[in-house]
Structure 1
């Protein structure tokens, strides 16, 4: 009974199982290998870096050893979670991660030229067009930095992520790459301008900033952002989530600043019709790169960037439509009374048609902008305005195929109605018809020589030309009727010399009067 009383309550230590012994021995060997390599590459006597042009084999050996150690630790934990050797192995893993993190940072900084987003995007473009051998030959000697830098970064990232140190790796990557993105955007003259700031700028200064923005967006999207997307996807190819997160953190702030600028410009209340074309330049530039933006910023984490682009396009569209209304209003309010000397082309005609011909150069953009912008009228418009179909009078929706054609046709009609009114002050009716003919011919010439011809259609031009001919016929009848009636009714009939002399004198008199009256008149 006494022996039983003094017996220990704890069971005697069990002998290590064969599985435990093998797992521990394997881990010890792996730990020794990693420790030896760490000592080698962190020694003060070493004058080389682990990831360099001359040590790729050693770098691969190091990463392989770290992976083996990590895997052996997992095997030992599954057998003996509290094994003392695990603590030493964990310390060795930490030292290995410290070395890899240091190398990751160094490779990112040392190979900045090779990892430049534009260079990365160019190499990606080349690789899609040429064979591997062509690419290697074409790129030989082009970069002074390590051509394996991207693969080195990927190797380090894969190792750190697989061993549970993704956060440290991504933090270094984001810090260095974001500074490069911000610096590059600054070199593109991209500024973080608020609406309040923009509202205070004179137009000349703002126009300069718009020009800088146009250059920046055409560089940033296809080279900077695209290059960063490729680099992040390559380095963190082991995890799409990490790649998206890293890319988003690097580019979001700069991208939002770049893509918000057009929205703020579109919000300005001081945009007049003359500023239409710079606004369209911005819309066109952003619309042209939009497919690339959707492809580059293709993850849910980049939804804010894509939404900003959409909002900017929407606000620019609103601004263009608003300026178009102001342009139409300016035509309607034009109130000059003084007749144009000689029945020449009125300044309103020149202004309106030059404006519309420039506008037609943005045909693709305005077609989209005007697509759902319905022209509401309470009365029919004349058939001569439109290119096809309809009766003598028809609504534009019945005879035109697109909202942009309807809108442009409507503006031309507004202008022609004003020109009709400006023919009234001429005291000579013949001159008023010449004035109408000249102005309508100017419209025809402008339509024919610009993209308006494509938007309005050839039949529209033909109808206007027919109307020009009618104006000319009336002008000729009124201006030269007396000259023509002074001639014999039948020029082939025989007449007496006296009668011929009368016709000759009458013709000379009427011709001289017509000539003196019309010497200063203008025929386009």
Structure 2
């Protein structure tokens, strides 16, 4: 942040080298006699005049080009003490306690005070300017948190730490923090003095001008700019998406460094006056903070309906909600309430946008009008797209819970979802109901699409494949925590049911062609029926696909268990008695050995070998005819 927004104008690592002596105020009003009091007033004014006139920039070329606080910290403390004493003298002179007033003394004191205030204004400005790099919000905001680190690194010596690089880095951090700390102390010293002397307005003006330029520069370099609703609406999504990503980074830096650092500095410098530090911070930060927090609201209101907007909106909502406590603390002043209200307004608008996009996502599922059949009963693009979207949504489960908890699920949801979602013991979270409802909408749409298949067995395979994909994505993502094991188990049972229906319709004739204990005459017919039914079934199913490896293996094992073992027994029992005359030679009716059947089944449901399987089946068929 420092290298991005600030650069030192004058090296100041050695500005403050002398210890800061304690200051004390001369108590003049307690003097016992008017004569003694008069003497002390004269002494105080003369002492103040000596040091104040020494640093009068109008009377001394040396004073014009030299900084009091840079030249001698001890003398700077004496200067402050003299101003405080002079202020006490002025109060005494105007309090009518002296029976013999001397207006020339009051005039002299006022003149000295004016010169002193001009000097302190110059010093205040120089400290702010010369230490610009050391008073950047990053250094200020981390100064307190690094106290322990600074202490530990300062303890390094040649014997205790062989790592010179670590020691050097620690020394560098310590130096920056020490300069920052001393500059902040000097600014507070001057501010306290000027405010007590009635020159708060001049001090505040210098501070606001200097610090507002730093905050404005930081906000600008972070890429935060003033935009209108029409400008955001006209942006191409790629451009707006880049601005959103930039905002996410800028928001983090702004809250945790830029504004927090400025609040710490402002509170420290003007600790003597709550009203001053409040007005200063509000005026310095309000404009930049409002620019920062109005952007999410503009994004939320944009009419762009791209579904990708959902995750950008959720990211922005997350960023603000995670830093909400810090935002409230930094902008706790009543004068900064507009910033808090704008941040809250953005949160509300973003949550409304999320709910609207969820409704749009549901309608997009329900309105999908594609009628093209997926070859082989494979995965529908709507399934893959919807589950990609839902698994990403599930990663925002906590945020979505906050957003949806105050919004009831769609009216039909409670009547359409499985009963376990609304058990008497524990009601499900609103986010779980909403996700389950969206998946139900997807399943209903897939059921409609399955009816486009003329081959009913293929429609069941289509449903099994797509539901299996939904379950697999749910189990390997955060959806598993939202949907729960009971939901998953129920839908896994449906997959098994769809697979069983596919198996019955696609291979039922093959199973039925092998009756138990047939006679020799029946065996011949059985072999003929098996040859025809197996060949037909294989030719039809050779283009079928099952993308999920586990489901593919389960279906093949189930078919193989019911077919290969039975066929092997039938084949071994009757193969020698099923030969027929074919001209001058005898020909066997057995076309497929049990091994052939097993090999053909093992090649099923792979997308990449559909054509090869079909050609193999055709060549096998022609070879046995």
Aligned residue number for residue 120 of structure 2? 100
Distance 2:443 2:136 in 1: 57
Distance 2:510 2:375 in 1: 24
In structure 2, the residue corresponding to 1:45 is in which secondary structure? helix
Distance 1:379 1:218 in 2: 38
Task: Note if 1:318 corresponds to 2:352.
Answer: yes
2:111 to 91, 96, 100: 91
How far does residue 185 in structure 1 lie from its aligned partner after superposition?
Answer: 0.7
Aligned residue number for residue 288 of structure 2? 254
In structure 2, the residue corresponding to 1:93 is in which secondary structure? helix
For residues 269-325 of structure 1, the C-alpha deviation after alignment (integer angstroms, 9 at most, x for no partner) is: 233333211111211111122111111111211111100000011111111111111
Distance 1:164 1:518 in 2: 95
Q: Cα 1:22–1:200, aligned 2, differ >3 Å: closer, same or farther?
A: farther
Please report the TM-score for the alignment, with normalisation by the length of structure 2.
0.75
How far does residue 63 in structure 1 lie from its aligned partner after superposition?
Answer: 0.7
Aligned residue number for residue 4 of structure 1? none
Contact 2:52 2:115 (C-alpha < 8 Å) held by counterparts: yes
Contact 1:117 1:228 (C-alpha < 8 Å) held by counterparts: yes
Please report the TM-score for the alignment, with normalisation by the length of structure 1.
0.88
Alignment of 1:215-294 (within 5 A): 215-294=249-328
How far does residue 90 in structure 1 lie from its aligned partner after superposition?
Answer: 1.1
How far does residue 24 in structure 1 lie from its aligned partner after superposition?
Answer: 3.3
Distance 1:136 1:65 in 2: 38
* Larger Rg, first or second structure (1 or 2): 2
Distance 1:486 1:384 in 2: 40
How far does residue 110 in structure 1 lie from its aligned partner after superposition?
Answer: 0.2
Q: Cα 1:117–1:375, aligned 2, differ >3 Å: closer, same or farther?
A: same
1:162 to 196, 218, 221: 196
Task: Note if 1:77 corresponds to 2:94.
Answer: yes
Alignment of 1:122-133 (within 5 A): 122-127=142-147, 129-130=148-149, 132=151
Contact 1:344 1:522 (C-alpha < 8 Å) held by counterparts: yes
How far does residue 384 in structure 1 lie from its aligned partner after superposition?
Answer: 4.2
Distance 2:155 2:134 in 1: 14
How far does residue 147 in structure 1 lie from its aligned partner after superposition?
Answer: 5.0
1:36 to 33, 37, 50: 50
Runs of 4 or more consecutive aligned structure 1 residues displaced over 3 Å after TM superposition: 17-24, 45-48, 80-83, 129-147, 378-390, 495-509
Distance 2:412 2:418 in 1: 18
Instruction: Count residues in correspondence.
Output: 495
Task: Note if 1:297 corresponds to 2:297.
Answer: no
Query: Which sections of structure 1, spanning at least 5 residues, go unmatched?
Result: 1-16, 391-397
Greater shift, 201-210 or 468-477, is seen at 201-210
Contact 1:284 1:365 (C-alpha < 8 Å) held by counterparts: yes
How far does residue 141 in structure 1 lie from its aligned partner after superposition?
Answer: 3.6
Distance 2:332 2:442 in 1: 47
How far does residue 367 in structure 1 lie from its aligned partner after superposition?
Answer: 1.1
Aligned residue number for residue 12 of structure 1? none
For residues 418-463 of structure 1, the C-alpha deviation after alignment (integer angstroms, 9 at most, x for no partner) is: 1111111111111111111111111101111211111121211111
Give the superposed CA RMSD. 2.4
1:432 to 459, 468, 480: 459
Q: Cα 1:104–1:280, aligned 2, differ >3 Å: closer, same or farther?
A: same
Distance 2:346 2:260 in 1: 20
Q: Cα 1:51–1:448, aligned 2, differ >3 Å: closer, same or farther?
A: same
Aligned residue number for residue 69 of structure 2? 51
Distance 1:233 1:209 in 2: 33
2:482 to 435, 455, 458: 455
